[in-house]
Structure 1
């Protein structure tokens, strides 16, 4: 079950690729994409192919910040009807809540969580790699860059996050990160996230237009009717959110989505899937990412994947990958299979 993303995610790709000395058409073909997708922003295309394109572009150009170069001039209008909807909300809180609600329309492999704490807000992002494990660094940076750009358009171009955190290691050159995110960018962190003041959420949007918001909502309701595909994307995202709690079951997911377990079972069966197989696939994607791309301890990885004990995780990992997580990480660090970042 391939996750899809709106082709508008490639906005500015051609300009950045050309400026980086790449043959845009050849790069797209090599990633399995038609060059025509650049002219069809509403087309839904496979996430794994987009990830492959961005990763190859960064490597071949030698520009570790390739995706950020694409994000630096993004506009809310690039998000289509979702951008129109969040643009005309009264507060940033309203805009972010609607972005989370309609995320499936933009990216079927992305989970976004807005966690309000005492005086801060953590906007946490988690991406699944796609059908096969692909490095997610470029997609992660593109997504957070787009979100920061969107917030500035909503509450003021001078707005700065308190911190922007990434799970992956720092690039050699931080200039583009500081240009897009500001001075407080940190790497090798626990989550990919944007941290801002809680008071930012209550910032009023003086240009909010309720009539335009209603119009945008109608466009979304027409474009994204409730169907099996959107429900399955919601199930995937909910599994990702619930796994670290150690209580990820079909009953908990059903409760979170406001449907009965039988509904989820029926829709999974139509796709020749089961809840346990879907959860296992997601665990494999996340395990590969955490082991290959981060320095998290394996005990922490076990907890994030919902295992009650490291030994349970070790047995599961061996059964899925044919070697231990420790050996996988060692191979990745020495440039072995799966270790590219």
Structure 2
């Protein structure tokens, strides 16, 4: 249980820092409270940050092996994005890869290849938000579920909206690739969720001007400023009112309720099965909700995790199935969600897999269960 206690302590420290620097719901400048980064006590970041690296390297025909050996990573970690990595390992990998490619904004190539579901439950939530403003603020509110290193703030100045990236730890090292990747991925998410997409007025980076500015300007379709006091995406404030094409009030309300529960329970896993249940709900539908990935997040070997769960009379498969059915029932009872959308949210391969699993657990297919329980609920209200 040592790994679980370590997991608990790390989350408690991070959450304490989060509450300390967020006052009354208003964002405070992290730089006033920033903790210093220590390599011997590293901040862990998601290995999903490096998804797309293999494809980006293939574009320019470079061999990843020397860089992987230099920083102590494996091809498997780049392929799956499982688990977490020390921040300095990720930064050094990105920097060495950029140097090998002779491309000082190589991280932009990586961002282009990253999957749209990288932010797990949060990416699902913002899809159903009513407006871009609500989507961005939700992503900020639940950011700690995805990143313990960085955070974002949204505010308006005159007619412009500024979406700014801050960090919770002071890292002393070259962060050009990390900053480029972060802003590119967030802008890419905005393009995917909002139609028509907001047009950027400008993009601001704290680092010096790189050589290949034209590639950045083409990607962001906006002027790029360097040596700025912050890393920021700037767009018209009026775009915050843009309605999102996937908006659904009922699904949004159910999903937001789930995320609020996850955020409240973030630092309180009292047992290994509770920690696994929490991580399952955080990663459902992201491609990271499987035994190997969850084990890596808990710093446990998959067999060790299975043994610990067995000692508590359960298994990973059982916890995954229970979480899926619990959430499915909530969506079916409180929204008019389609089965295709529901299967995607819960991480099933297709609707048939959802119907089969749901029927085995409840004895009836999802739509029949929905009819029965909504009928009972209606009669109870009479």
TM-score (norm: length of structure 1): 0.60
Equivalent position of 2:214 in the other structure: 175
Pairwise CA RMSD of aligned residues?
Answer: 2.5
Per-residue CA deviations over 1:156-179 (Å, capped at 9, x if unaligned) read 365321110111111122222012
Deviation at 1:75, TM superposition (A): 4.5
3-state SS of paired residue (2:207): coil
Matching residue within 91, 106, 112 for 2:152:
112
1:189 counterpart = 2:228 = yes
Q: Which residue of 1 aligns with 2:163?
A: 123
In 2 relative to 1, CA 216–46 (structure 1 residues): closer, same or farther, beyond 3 Å? farther
Distance in 1 separating the partners of 2:194 and 2:213: 25
CA distance in 1: counterparts of 2:60 and 2:257, whole angstroms: 38
1: CA distance, partners of 2:60 / 2:203: 26
| Map of 2:123 onto structure 1 | 83
Return the alpha-carbon distance in structure 2 between the equivalents of residues 113 and 55 of structure 1.
26
Report the equivalent of 1:140: 179
| Alpha-carbon separation, structure 2, partners of 1:179 and 1:73 | 16
The residue number in structure 2 matching 1:204 is 243
The answer to whether the 8 A contact 1:18-1:24 is kept is: no
Kept in 2: contact 1:4–1:47 (CA 8 A): yes
Alpha-carbon offset, residue 219 of structure 1:
6.5
1:222 CA drift (Å): 4.9
Aligned residue for 1:46?
A: 86
* Unmatched segments (≥5 aa) in structure 1: 230-341
**Structure 2 residues not aligned, in runs of 5+:** 1-40, 270-382
CA distance in 1, matches of 2:137, 2:113: 23
Aligned mates of 2:265, 2:62 — CA distance in 1: 39
Aligned length: 228
Alignment-derived partner of residue 189 in structure 2? 150
The answer to whether residue 258 in structure 2 is matched with residue 218 in structure 1 is yes
Q: Secondary structure at the match of 2:200?
A: coil
SS of residue matched to 1:78: coil
Secondary structure of 2:139's match? helix
Report if aligned partners of 1:48, 1:129 keep a CA contact under 8 Å in 2.
no
Change in 2 beyond 3 A, CA 1:99/1:77: same
Q: Distance in 1 between matches of 2:113 and 2:232?
A: 20
Moved >6 Å (runs of 4+): none
2-structure distance, mates of 1:154, 1:181: 16
Distance 1:54-1:220 versus aligned 2 partners, 3 A rule? farther
Q: Given the alignment of the two structures, is residue 61 of structure 1 paired with residue 95 of structure 2, yes or no?
A: no
Q: Aligned runs of 1:1-341 on 2, under 5 Å?
A: 1-41=41-81, 43-127=83-167, 133-156=172-195, 158-213=197-252, 214-215=254-255, 218=258, 221-222=261-262, 225-227=265-267
In structure 2, distance between residues paired with 1:99 and 1:224: 16
Q: 1:73 to 1:14 in 2, by over 3 A?
A: closer
How far 1:21 sits from its partner (Å)? 3.2
Render the CA deviation track for 1:81-111: whole Å, top value 9, x for unaligned: 1211122111111111111112222221112
Worse-superposed segment, 55-64 or 170-179: 170-179
